[in-house]
Amino acid sequence: MIVNVAEFKNGIDRYLELVGEEEIVITKDGKYFAKITPASESFAEYLVSLRGILPPTVTVEEAHEERIAKHERHY
């Protein structure tokens, strides 16, 4: 579903209920602004979504440690 930002603001309760059924794309000035997707139901689904992004030899723990290390380097 695609809605403009003003419509989303006015009907936010309704759209938050609908996001359980489908993605909601919010436009601003006729351009894509944001996308709200249903929350992943399980950690396994999240891991599957990373397929192709992480090398198959990387464990979840290694990915987590790398993310923390990158965050610490910025501070």
The tens digit of pLDDT for each residue in 28-75 reads 999 998 988 877 556 666 666 666 666 778 787 887 787 777 766 654
pLDDT at residue 21, as a whole number: 83
Average pLDDT score over residue span 16-39: 88
- Sheet arrangement for strand 24-28: 2-4, 24-28, 31-36
Listed by start position, the domains of the chain span 2-36, 43-73
